[in-house]
Every structure is written in C-alpha cells, then in structure tokens.
Amino acid sequence: MNSMPWGIVLAGGDGTRLKALSRLLSGDDRPKQFCSLLGLDSLLSRTRARLAPVFSSDRTLFVVVKAHEPFYRPELAGLDQAQIVVQPGNRGTTAAIIYGLVRLTRLQQDDPIVAFFPTDHDYVDEGRFSQAVKSAIDVAREHHRRLVLLGAEADNAEVEYGWIEPDTPLIGGCSGESLFRVHRFWEKPSARLARELFGRGCLWNTFVIVGRARTFLDVIASTVPVMYRAFEPLRDHRSDLAELECAARVYETLQEGDFSHQVLSACTERLAVLRLGKVGWSDLGTPERVRVAAELRAHIWLNAAGVNDDARPDGAAARGAVKEDQGNTRV
C-alpha cells in the first residue's frame, strides 16, 4: 500500500461575509480565497505553500466551483486536470468533501490517508502547524477507524467557531498529552455556552481533518446516507465531459450541507482531536479577524526588523491576538 498521504484543499466557498472587503481589495467579485488579504499572495496560494512541506504537489487535489473558473484557473495552471475537482455549484462542505473523496478513490485504488484543508485560514506558526499535520497522519495510520481533528487553543469565548470538548487521552501516533478522544463537538454555541467551553479548556475546531479515505466514506455513509448515495453515478466516470454533465445532474438534487453539523457532530465516537496549542490560528471570515491577523503580522515583522512598536496604538491588540507558548504542545 502506498503510504504517501494526500491533501485536499477546499476552495469552493462564496466568501459572502467578506465580500465587501474582497471586492475593495481585488476590484471584482472574486471570493476571498482568491484575494490577497495578508501580503501579496492569495489565500489559496498561501494554503498551497503551507501544505508543501507535507504533501507532494502531485498528491494534492483542489475542490472548486465552476463559476469561479476565471479566478482559480490562473492559480492552478500547470496542474493535472484530474487534480482539480470542479463542482457545478456550491453546496457546502459536505458535498465538497464527498466529491473530493470520489475523485481521490478513482485516482488511487487502495485506502490512502487524506487530509482536508480550508483556504480561508491563517496560522502564525506554520512550522508548528506542519508538524501537527504530520503527527495527525501518524495517528491516522495507527487508528484506522478514526478521523483526526486539529484543535487550536482558544483565546476567547468565540461563538462563530466550532468547539471540540476533549475526552480521555488516546495513546498512539503522538504524545497522549496532545491526543484525545472527543467527548462532544459543539458547532457555533451560544455566548453563554461558549464562555463555559472556554472556561473548561475546550478547543477551537480548525476544520483540518485527517483520516483514511475509507473511514471518511464510512462515516459519511452512516451520517448522511442520502447525500452519499447521490454521488454514486460519479464514481465510474473517466471522461471529463461526461463527468461534468453527470455532476451537474447530481448537484441539482443536493441540498446545501455543512460537514461539521451533519457529520462531525453525529459521529464523535469516531473522532480524535490533536491539540495544537497556540499556533495563532484564525478563520479569516470577518473583516475584524483579517484586521487582527494583519496587525499581528505587522507586529512580528517590526520586531524582526528590530523596531519597537510599543507606542503604536495597534501594538497591544496585535500582541494579545496570539500568546506564544511554544512548550505547551508536543507533537
């Protein structure tokens, strides 16, 4: 069995919450994953660079939406067309993950380890993130029946994130101090519940998920069987044109679905969580989060250049966005 893992990048979102900012920066209606929100590179390009230390370029798939072709085609130029999974429309993360798995299992007939990555996330400590992904891959090799989530240390009682409540330690793949069974998954809790979860030391769900392809498919079949069966006609297509036509018919039947709510929340016994610690993770879903991430990076760059920014009004906010704690997580 080929032990090389695969990465699947989820790049089909519409970016509606950040539309005003992305339009201001780009001058057109491209979704945020194709915009340069932090630095010169788009979020998609930044995601590709972040994954390069772990996944070879020929073992990375990109799930996109046909309507975004003017934006993704230049960024993905040079890739084999089989690596670009074109959805006829955006039906949410559940459909995107299933279609990515359908394509992957056609490209590789055994049961590869695969990891899913959103494109609208930011990590201050990308080296530590890469090490955590490698550790999650090791866990998936040992615990075939589990999906491994990466959980970031929470900085506040955020109501727009998914939360993971760890259970007992799960030994194997990495230190038991970092790897846990999952007691419960909480998707976008109320403010009161978020405060309780924060006080109990629960983790933010980064939506980076690692596991065997067959494990993903088994979990999906048990939690969303109708949607799982809807993709059956796509499993045997080999012609690009025939697949596009078939996919259009399949997507006409689909309701929009969220993988966290539909699948993860319903199968906690099949999950494990790997504690990332304070890696400076953020979901760049709102202008405020983009602002904080940009201020933090400006603070880091100024410090690296030997410039003291204590007098700048945004310095304290930037430093408070991430509390570095390099010794807190062992992976």
Average pLDDT over residues 173-183: 76
Average pLDDT over residues 112-135: 94
pLDDT at 322 over 60: no
Please tell me the total number of residues recorded for the chain in this structure: 331
This prediction's pTM: 0.88
- Ordered structural domains, the chain, with CATH: 6-151+205-258+269-275 (3.90.550.10), 286-322 (no CATH)
- Whole-number Å distance between alpha carbons of 30 and 8: 21
Structure tokens at 309: 């920014």
Instruction: Give the other-Cβ count within 10 Å of 224's Cβ.
Output: 19
Helix axes 19-26, 287-304, angle to 10 degrees: 50
Angle at 57 between CA 51 and CA 62, to 5 degrees: 75
Q: What confidence score (pLDDT) does residue 295 get?
A: 84
Residues 258-272 as b or e (16 or more Cβ within 10 Å = b): ebbbbbbbebbebbb
Average pLDDT over residues 266-275: 95
- Whole-number Å distance between alpha carbons of 84 and 100: 9
Average pLDDT over residues 245-250: 95
Contacts of 276 (CB under 8 A, 6+ apart): 128, 129, 132, 150, 151, 152, 153, 203, 206, 329
pLDDT in tens, 131-142: 999 999 999 999
- Whole-number Å distance between alpha carbons of 82 and 138: 27
